[in-house]
C-alpha cells in the first residue's frame, strides 16, 4: 500500500483519546494516515519573523505531522486575504463580499510556493499526495513544476461556483488551469462538479466524458465524493454521560417547550440572519405558538480578522436582541444566542434534546451539522431536520424538510411543519436519513477518493 501525504492549510495534531473533540474530517484523515503510513503537512498556525522553511515534526497516536510557520504578511495576504476575502465569498456566491487585490493573490501564490518547497523533500516516489481545499488549489501545479511525478489528488470542501460568477475573478483561468496538474479532483455534489465541467467546456474548449475531463492536453478525473461524518463515533458520543447531562440541561431549561437548535461557525454563508428572520416571521404569524418554542443558536466566531465577519457578528447581536425585545416575556426568551464552541459529546447531547434542527445555509459545500444531528437522534422519538436546499447535504438527505432559506415565509412554514409532524412520519424520515448517514460515512468518503486516486495512472 502506498504511503499517504495529506496537505491542508491547518493540521489537526492527533492526541490519544481526544478523537471525540475533533471534527470527522480530522478523524478520517488520521485513520487513513494510520492505515497507509505517511504524514500530514500544513501551516502550524504560528507566525515567524522571516520564513526559512523550518519544518516542525511531531508524532501523535500513530500519525506523523509536519508543519511550517508563516510570516505575518503571508497570513494577511494568503489566509485572511485571497483564501477568506476572495475565494471563500466568491465560491459561496457572494460576489458582493468578494475583494479583489493583486497583493492577496501574490501572497496566495507565495505561500503555495512555500508549501511546495518545504513538502517536496518529504515526499517519496510511490506516495499518494492528497491536497485539501481552496487555500491550496495551485499546489499540485507547483509540485509538478518541481518535478513531482506522484499521483496527486485535490478535494474541494466548498462549492464550485457557476462559470458566470467565477469569471469575476481576474485570474480565473490561471486558477482552473492549475487544477489540471492533479490526477483526481473531488467535489461534494453533482452541482459543484457540473459547474466545474461547464467552465472547462465553455471557457477552455475542453471535453467531458464521464469522470474524465480534458483540456489543454491534460486529462484528469473529476468525481463526486460527498463527505460524511464518523457516524459510529457520533452515535456513541450522543449516548455518553456528557451527552446525557447536556440533554438534561436542555430539557430543564426548556420547561416543556419545543426546542429548536442551530449550530454553525459564525459565517455569512450559514444563513444565520435569514434563519433569525424566518423564526421572527414564525413568531409574528403564529401568536398562539409564542412561548411554546425555544430556539438555541450556537455560533462560535471564526475568521475575526476579516471585516465581514465582524459585521455579521454585530448584525446578529442586534437582530437577536431585536427579536427578543419584541417577543420575550418574563419567563421566556425566544432566541438564546451563544457565541462559543462545545465539546463534541455535549454538542451531541444538545442535538439529541432538540426537536428540530435548523440547518439553513445560503450556500454550503456539504454541511456536517445536518449529518451529526441525524446521528444523535433517539430512534424512538427522533427530531426533524430542516435543511436548506442550498447545502450540499440536501443532495443526499432528501427526507429532511427541505427549505429555501431566502424565504422567511418558507422558513416559518417549515418550522410549523416540523412542529406538527407525527411521530410515525418523523421515524420514517429519520430512518431513511440515518441509513444514508451510516452507509456514506467519512471512512467511505475517504476510501472512495483514495481508491480513485490509487487507480489513476501515474
From 33-41, 48-56, 205-213, 360-368, give the range in contact with ligand ADQ by CB under 6 A: 360-368
From 55-63, 305-313, 358-366, 413-421, give the range in contact with ligand ADQ by CB under 6 A: 358-366
From 241-249, 326-334, 341-349, 436-444, give the range in contact with ligand ADQ by CB under 6 A: 341-349
From 41-49, 71-79, 166-174, 368-376, give the range in contact with ligand ADQ by CB under 6 A: 368-376
Closer residue to ligand ADQ in complex, CB, 281/363: 363
Closer residue to ligand ADQ in complex, CB, 223/369: 369
Q: Please, what is the minimum distance in Å from the beta carbon of residue 28 to ligand ADQ?
A: 10
Q: Are 68 and 56 in contact (CB under 8 A)?
A: yes
> Over 70-113, what HEC string results?
EEHHHHHHHHHHHHHHHHHHHHCCCHHHCCCCHHHHHHHHHHHH
Q: Is the dihedral of CA 83, 84, 85, 89 positive or negative?
A: positive
CA distances to 7, 156, 180, 365 from 183, in Å: 15, 14, 8, 21
Nearest to 134 by CA among 96, 107, 160: 160
Residue 3 CB contacts under 8 Å (≥ 6 apart), including other chains: 36, 37, 38, 124, 126, 127, 128
Which member of 341, 416, 421, 447 binds ligand ADQ (CB under 6 A)?
Answer: 341
Give the separation between CA 213 and CA 322, rounded to whole angstroms: 51
Per CB under 6 A, 369 contacts ligand ADQ? yes
CA distances to 17, 20, 41, 177 from 87, in Å: 35, 30, 22, 16
From 101-109, 200-208, 262-270, 283-291, give the range in contact with ligand ADQ by CB under 6 A: 262-270
Which member of 62, 205, 300, 321 binds ligand ADQ (CB under 6 A)?
Answer: 300
Closer residue to ligand ADQ in complex, CB, 25/408: 25
Give the separation between CA 298 and CA 441, rounded to whole angstroms: 24
Which member of 135, 157, 247, 352 binds ligand ADQ (CB under 6 A)?
Answer: 157
Laid out side by side, the sheet with 207-209 consists of 56-60, 63-71, 38-48, 4-10, 128-132, 151-155, 184-187, 218-224, 212-215, 207-209
Q: Please, what is the minimum distance in Å from the beta carbon of residue 160 to ligand ADQ?
A: 12
Which member of 83, 263, 394, 433 binds ligand ADQ (CB under 6 A)?
Answer: 263
Give the separation between CA 224 and CA 192, rounded to whole angstroms: 8
From 44-52, 116-124, 257-265, 395-403, give the range in contact with ligand ADQ by CB under 6 A: 257-265
State the angle between helix axes of 368-376 and 423-439 in degrees (0 to 180), rounded to the nearest 10.
120
Count, residues near ligand ADQ per rule CB under 6 A = 20
Q: Are 68 and 54 in contact (CB under 8 A)?
A: yes
Q: Please, what is the minimum distance in Å from the beta carbon of residue 169 to ligand ADQ?
A: 19
Catalytic residue list contains 248: no
Q: Please, what is the minimum distance in Å from the beta carbon of residue 321 to ligand ADQ?
A: 20
Q: Which three cell numbers stand for residue 235?
A: 452515535
Give the separation between CA 364 and CA 346, rounded to whole angstroms: 24
DSSP reduced 3-state for 63: strand
Catalytic residue list contains 364: yes
Q: Please, what is the minimum distance in Å from the beta carbon of residue 339 to ligand ADQ?
A: 9
**Interface positions, 7-46, toward ligand ADQ (CB under 6 A):** 23, 25
**Interface positions, 208-237, toward ligand ADQ (CB under 6 A):** 227
CA distances to 19, 37, 195 from 26, in Å: 8, 15, 27
Q: Please, what is the minimum distance in Å from the beta carbon of residue 378 to ligand ADQ?
A: 19
Of 157, 188, 267, 441, which residue is the catalytic one? Answer: 157
Q: Please, what is the minimum distance in Å from the beta carbon of residue 341 to ligand ADQ?
A: 4
Label residue 304 exposed, middle or buried (CB < 10 Å: 0-12, 13-18, 19+): exposed
Per CB under 6 A, 301 contacts ligand ADQ? no
Nearest to 80 by CA among 304, 311, 364: 304
Closer residue to ligand ADQ in complex, CB, 183/264: 264
Nearest to 8 by CA among 121, 154, 123: 154
Which member of 93, 100, 342, 444 binds ligand ADQ (CB under 6 A)?
Answer: 342
Closer residue to ligand ADQ in complex, CB, 283/350: 350
Give the separation between CA 305 and CA 328, rounded to whole angstroms: 33
Q: Please, what is the minimum distance in Å from the beta carbon of residue 22 to ligand ADQ?
A: 9
Closer residue to ligand ADQ in complex, CB, 265/290: 265
Enzyme catalytic residues: 157, 364
- Rule CB under 6 A: which residues touch ligand ADQ? 23, 25, 157-158, 227, 263-265, 298, 300, 341-342, 347, 364-369, 372
Amino acid at each position: 500500500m502506498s504511503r499517504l501525504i495529506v496537505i491542508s492549510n491547518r493540521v489537526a495534531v492527533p492526541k490519544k483519546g481526544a478523537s471525540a473533540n475533533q471534527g470527522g474530517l480530522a478523524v478520517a484523515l488520521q485513520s487513513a494516515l494510520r492505515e497507509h503510513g505517511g504524514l500530514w503537512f500544513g501551516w502550524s498556525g504560528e507566525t515567524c519573523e522571516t520564513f526559512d522553511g523550518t519544518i516542525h515534526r511531531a508524532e501523535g497516536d500513530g500519525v506523523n505531522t509536519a508543519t511550517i510557520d508563516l510570516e505575518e504578511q503571508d497570513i494577511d495576504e494568503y489566509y485572511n486575504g485571497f483564501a477568506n476575502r476572495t475565494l471563500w465569498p466568491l465560491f459561496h456566491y457572494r460576489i458582493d463580499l468578494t475583494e479583489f487585490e493583486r497583493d492577496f493573490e501574490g501572497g496566495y501564490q507565495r505561500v503555495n510556493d512555500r508549501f511546495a518547497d518545504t513538502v517536496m523533500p518529504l515526499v517519496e516516489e510511490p506516495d499518494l499526495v492528497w491536497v485539501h481545499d481552496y487555500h491550496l488549489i495551485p499546489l499540485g501545479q507547483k509540485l509538478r513544476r518541481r518535478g513531482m511525478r506522484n499521483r496527486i489528488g485535490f478535494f474541494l470542501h466548498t462549492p464550485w461556483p457557476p462559470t458566470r460568477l467565477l469569471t469575476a475573478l481576474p485570474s480565473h483561468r490561471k486558477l482552473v488551469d492549475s487544477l489540471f496538474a492533479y490526477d483526481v479532483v473531488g467535489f461534494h455534489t453533482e452541482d459543484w462538479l457540473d459547474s466545474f465541467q461547464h467552465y472547462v467546456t465553455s471557457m477552455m474548449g475542453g471535453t467531458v466524458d464521464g469522470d474524465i475531463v480534458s483540456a489543454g492536453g491534460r486529462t484528469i478525473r473529476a468525481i463526486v465524493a460527498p463527505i460524511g461524518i464518523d457516524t459510529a463515533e457520533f452515535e456513541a458520543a450522543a449516548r455518553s454521560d456528557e451527552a446525557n447531562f447536556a440533554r438534561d440541561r436542555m430539557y430543564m431549561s426548556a420547561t416543556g417547550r419545543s426546542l429548536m437548535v442551530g449550530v454553525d461557525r459564525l459565517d455569512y454563508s450559514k444563513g444565520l440572519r435569514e434563519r433569525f428572520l424566518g423564526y421572527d416571521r414564525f413568531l409574528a404569524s403564529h401568536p398562539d405558538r409564542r412561548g411554546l418554542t425555544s430556539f438555541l443558536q450556537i455560533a462560535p466566531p471564526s475568521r475575526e480578522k476579516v471585516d465581514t465577519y465582524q459585521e455579521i457578528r454585530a448584525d446578529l447581536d442586534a437582530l437577536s436582541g431585536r427579536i427578543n425585545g419584541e417577543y420575550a416575556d418574563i419567563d421566556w426568551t425566544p432566541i438564546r444566542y451563544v457565541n462559543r464552541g462545545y465539546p463534541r459529546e455535549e454538542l451531541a447531547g444538545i442535538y439529541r434534546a432538540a426537536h428540530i434542527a435548523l440547518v439553513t445555509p445560503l450556500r454550503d459545500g456539504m454541511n456536517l451539522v445536518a449529518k451529526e444531528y441525524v446521528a444523535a437522534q433517539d430512534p424512538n422519538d427522533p427530531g426533524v431536520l430542516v435543511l436548506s436546499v442550498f447545502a450540499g447535504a440536501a443532495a443526499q438527505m432528501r427526507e429532511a424538510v427541505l427549505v429555501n432559506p431566502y424565504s422567511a415565509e418558507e422558513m416559518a412554514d417549515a418550522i410549523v411543519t416540523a412542529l406538527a409532524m407525527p411521530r410515525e412520519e418523523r421515524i420514517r424520515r429519520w430512518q431513511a436519513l440515518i441509513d444514508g448517514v451510516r452507509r456514506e460515512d467519512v471512512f467511505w468518503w475517504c476510501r472512495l477518493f483514495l481508491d480513485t486516486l490509487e487507480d489513476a495512472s501515474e
